[in-house]
Amino acid sequence: MLIKGGLLPALRMRVALFIPCYIDAIYPEAGIATYELLQRFGVEVDYPLHQTCCGQPMANEGDQANSAAAEKLFVENFSGYDYIVGPAGSCVKHVKQHFDAIPQTDEVKTVRANTWELVEFLHDVLRVKAFPWAYFRYKASLHNSCSAIRGLHIAQPSEHMAPYFNKSEHLLRMVEGLELVSLDRPDECCGFGGTFCVTDEAVSARMGLDRVHDYVRNEAEFIISPDMSCLMHQQGIARKAGIDLKFIHIAQVLNGGPF
C-alpha cells in the first residue's frame, strides 16, 4: 500500500498525538495542522482524550511535588505507543530530558524514549522528502526554540563549533514559494522561558522586543516556529509595539494550513 502522494510506504506504527495544553486552548490550528500532516504521510494517529499537561511549568520552577501528578497522567495516556509526537519542542524536551518527578519504571522510560518533537519526527523517522501540497509565498524567518536547538538538537547551536545543520530549515526549504530570511542573531533566546516571562517581565519583554526588531530589520513578514509558546510571547510584544508581523506554527506551513 502506498500513501497519499505516494511518497512513503505505509508505516505500521502506533502513533499518539501529544497536543500541549496551550496549543489546545490558544492555537488549535497548529494541532489540527499537525494531525492532518501526519495523516498525509499515512500515519495513523490517535489522540488520547484525557491528556492535559506534561508538567513542565511546575518542573521548571523546581516544583517536583506538583509536576509528579502531571507526569504520571502523561505516562498513563501515552503508554503503549511506538511514537508520541508533539508539535512543541519545549514540552517534548521536558518529557525526554527532565521527566524525573516520578519513579523511572520501564514504562516511564519507554514513554520518554518514544516521545518525539514534530520536526525531528518528520525529518528523522518519516524522512520526508517533499511537501507537494504546501505553498507559502512569503518572506519568513525561522524561530527554533532554545529547547529544540540545545535540548533536542534539531539544529546546530551557533556557539557550538560543528558543521551546520538545521532540521526545521531543511523541511521549510521544501515548501514552494517560501523565502527564508536570516537574522542578525539567528538563535538568540526570545525571552519567553515559561514562567520567566511573567516573573522576570522586564528582561523577558526586552529580549522579545530585540528579537522582533531583528525580524523587522531583515524584512520578514511571517515568523515560523516549531514552538508556539515562544511565538505567543513574541506575538504579544509585536502587537503591543504596533509591529505588523504574523506568527505561525511550522505544521501549518508544511501542511498548507489551516491558517
Partner 1 sequence: MAAKRVDPAANAAAFIDQDDIHEPAHDRNLWAARMKRDAAAKAIPEWEDLRTIASLIKEHTLTHLDKYLEQFEANAIKRGAKVYWARDAAEHNQHVWNILNERKISSIIKSKSMLQEECGMTQFLETRGITVTESDLGERIQQLDNQPPSHIVMPAIHKTAADIAQIFSKAIGTDPNNTDPHYLNEAMRQDARKRFLEAGAGMTGANFAIAETGTFVVCTNEGNADIGAAVPRVHIASIGIEKILPKVEDLGVFIRLLSRSALGTLATQYTSHFSGPRKGGELHIIITDNGRSKRLGMDDFWHSLKCIRCGACMNTCPVYRRSGGLSYGATYSGPIGIILDPTFDESKYSELPYHSTLCGSCTEVCPVKIDISDQILRWRKVMAEKKFLPISRRLAFSAAGKIFERPNLFHGAETAASAALKITPHFLLYNRALNPWGRHRELPHFAKQTFREWFIQNKQQNQEDKQQP
Closest CA to 192 of 225, 224, 223, 230: 230
Whole-angstrom distance, CA of residue 255 vs CA of residue 251: 6
The only residue of 15, 18, 31, 96 in contact with partner 1, by rule CB under 8 A: 31
Q: For 166, list phi and psi in degrees, rounded to 5.
A: -155, 105
Residue 58 binds to partner 1 (criterion: CB under 8 A): yes
Among 15, 41, 57, 154, binds partner 1 (CB under 8 A): 57
For position 108 contacting partner 1 by CB under 8 A, the verdict is no
48 grid coordinates: 488520547
Binding-site string for partner 1 from residue 193 to residue 232, where x marks contact by CB under 8 A and - marks none = xxxxxxxxxxxxxxxxxx---------------------x
Q: How far is the CB of 123 from partner 1 (least distance, A)?
A: 20
Question: C-beta of 93: minimal distance to partner 1 in Å?
Answer: 10
**Given the complex with partner 1, which of 33 and 178 has the nearer CB atom?**
33
**Residue placing its CB nearer to partner 1 in the complex, 4 or 137:** 4
Spatial contact of 143 and 224, defined as CB atoms under 8 Å apart:
yes
Residues 118-177 touching partner 1, rule: CB under 8 A, are: 146-147, 149-151, 157-162
Query: Quick one: 113 or 203, whose CB is closer to partner 1?
Result: 203
Phi/psi for 246 (5° steps) reads -110, 140
**Residues 231 and 143: beta-carbon distance below 8 Å:** yes
CB of 203 to partner 1, least distance (A): 5
Write out the DSSP string of 57-70.
HHHHTT-HHHHHHH
Cβ at position 6, least distance to partner 1 in Å:
22
Tell me which residue has cell 507537494: 132
Told to check if 50 binds partner 1 by CB under 8 A, we report: yes
Q: Report which secondary-structure segment, H or E, holds 219.
A: none
| Contact pick of 51, 141, 144, 252 for partner 1 (by CB under 8 A) | 51
- If 0-12 CB within 10 Å is exposed, 13-18 middle and 19+ buried, where does residue 241 land? middle
